[in-house]
Amino acid sequence: MKVTICVGSTCHLMGSKTVVERFQQLVEQHHLEDRVELSGKFCMGKCGEGVSVTVDGVHHAVAPSDAESFFEREILAKV
């Protein structure tokens, strides 16, 4: 599964660093290093709705406070 987090300036201001760090911790915690590939990308053209995250190409907007529940719902449950 390929998970890409936007690190463009708007998403950075909305907390993309927190989302990246939380996802990294959760991937480690669930031993998903071989199954989930995390990467960063600059502006995905969907600024302002939340931090842009794509999961296998599907776009989502994630609030940093929702990073863990998003991970459980969209990544852990589907990987």
Q: Does 44 bind ligand FES (CB under 6 A)?
A: yes
CB of 37 to ligand FES, least distance (A): 19
Q: Does 63 bind ligand FES (CB under 6 A)?
A: no
State the Cα torsion 68-16-61-26 to the nearest 10°: -20
Q: Does 6 bind ligand FES (CB under 6 A)?
A: yes
Q: Which one among 17, 30, 46, 59 touches ligand FES, defined by CB under 6 A? A: 46
The H or E element spanning position 2 is: strand 2-6
Listed ranges 6-14, 22-30, 31-39, 70-78: which one lies at the site for ligand FES (CB under 6 A): 6-14
